[in-house]
Amino acid sequence: MSAIQLYNETGNLEGVILHPPGPEVENMTPKNAERALYSDILNLAVARREYNQLECLLQQLAPTFRVMDLLKDILRSSEIREKIVKKACYQEGQPRLIDRLLGLNESMLAKQLVQGVPIERNTLTAYLSNEHYSLRPLHNFFFTRDASVALSDRVLISRMANRVRDREALIMQAIFDYHPQFRVQTIQPDEGISNRDNISFEGGDLLVAAENITLVGLGTRTTSRGIDFLIKMAAGRKKKHHLLIQELPPSPESFIHLDMTFTLLDNDSCMVYEPLILKSNKYQTIQIDLDNGKVVSIRNVENLVSALKDLGMDLKPSYCGGQKDTVTQEREQWHSGANFLAIGPGKIIGYNRNVHTLENLNQSGYEVIPAKDVLNGITDLNKIEKYVLTVDGAELSRGGGGVRCMTMPFKRTR
């Protein structure tokens, strides 16, 4: 049986990959924050404390794996470490670093691949450089959702929209290609594609609604050509398949991925950012139907919820920010109020700061439970049918993502 089994968004979680934020988050200044895809600088001590709460919670609920542990495991092989180091250095125009990095042990090498390789000021050019790193820190890596996506029994390696994140995808591919825990088939676009700017897709834009239904966001991180690659990949399976494409606003940055506006909560419920997903607006929803390896239909549909209903998934929406006013909806969407991770049908995790979203979920039958009550043994989840576990996220949310963004599930019950 494959280590990768992901045919839906809400089956019981049986394996998830995490990456707690580390020094790479702190290796950032106001000058390079924008280049690192941040609008602000995170307080690492606070972000770590909040993330630790999430990780401890998930450890009680599912098998968890850390990126750094998996990376160190595969770097013990001299053949694999040479492949990774050479690819990373050539990819980022730093071939002179190869010998230096190959001389490190697996622990130090893993740290430098993630936390950055400090520049050696042993030449005049290096001395005069405004850069602090030869290989830049992976500031965004704690959002493990983006660089790779489990789809059925395979793993799709993302083509990141921004080159500053390419090494994240490289590391995740190496883990899935070489770690004995996985060793599965990975898929990625042809590396020979000349203009990578035309084709990109990231994990936050992909939701596996059902074995034959995939939801995809079309926006600043996932392009139409990136979706064309996904269509080609789905067609290769020679089965009936449906892709529902939701166009996303180019700004503000909170619309970075589809899962910031829509997530699945249960077999019969979903979370929506109502102004985009359900109300009339200028952003298209497109359905693409495939049969026997061919596209048989491309057409506009009313919205994701109605299209899913027509495909046999009748979902009751809950509302990000509630339904009182658009100001509240906008505020909570900005802080990842639509971004939930399901650990089982009707069992979800999200930020505690989005109080109107949580109130709406409670009205829909979800018991709201602080994560600390579970961690302290106050609440027994086995006695509760539907719940939302709330984690601290005042600092983490400032990084531009929620709990779904920070987790990369690779196995769920069907």
Per this entry, what is the length of the chain? 414
Domains, the chain: 13-412 (3.75.10.10)
Structure tokens at 56: 């401890």
Residue 195: predicted pLDDT? 56
Reported in sequence order, the residue ranges of 173-324 that DSSP labels E, i.e. its strands, are 186-187, 206-210, 213-218, 241-247, 262-266, 269-272, 285-291, 294-300, 316-319
Q: Note if the bond before 252 is cis, omega within 30 degrees.
A: yes
The dihedral built from the CA positions of residue 189, 190, 192 and 194, taken in this order, carries a sign that is negative
Residue 37: predicted pLDDT? 44
Helices (H) and strands (E) in the chain, counts: 14, 20
Residue 104 is classified by DSSP as S
Residue 191: predicted pLDDT? 55
Residue 36: predicted pLDDT? 43
The phi and psi torsions of 90 (rounded to 5 degrees) equal -70, -40
pLDDT tens for each residue of the chain, 414 residues long: 579 999 999 999 999 999 999 999 886 665 554 444 445 678 899 999 999 999 999 999 999 999 999 999 999 999 999 999 999 999 999 999 999 999 999 999 999 999 999 888 887 877 777 888 899 999 999 999 999 999 999 999 999 998 889 999 999 999 999 999 997 889 988 655 545 557 899 999 999 999 999 999 999 999 999 999 999 888 777 789 999 999 999 999 899 999 999 999 999 999 999 999 999 999 999 999 999 889 999 999 999 999 999 999 999 999 999 999 999 999 999 999 999 999 999 999 999 999 999 999 999 999 999 999 999 999 999 999 999 999 999 999 888 899 999 999 999 999
Is 145 within 8 Å of 410 (Cβ atoms)?
no
Is 349 within 8 Å of 339 (Cβ atoms)?
no
The DSSP bridge partners found for residue 294 are 291
Residue 39: predicted pLDDT? 55
Residue 188: predicted pLDDT? 87
Taking alpha carbons only, the member of 220, 320, 331 closest to residue 276 is 320
Taking alpha carbons only, the member of 355, 383, 385 closest to residue 370 is 355
The DSSP bridge partners found for residue 299 are 287
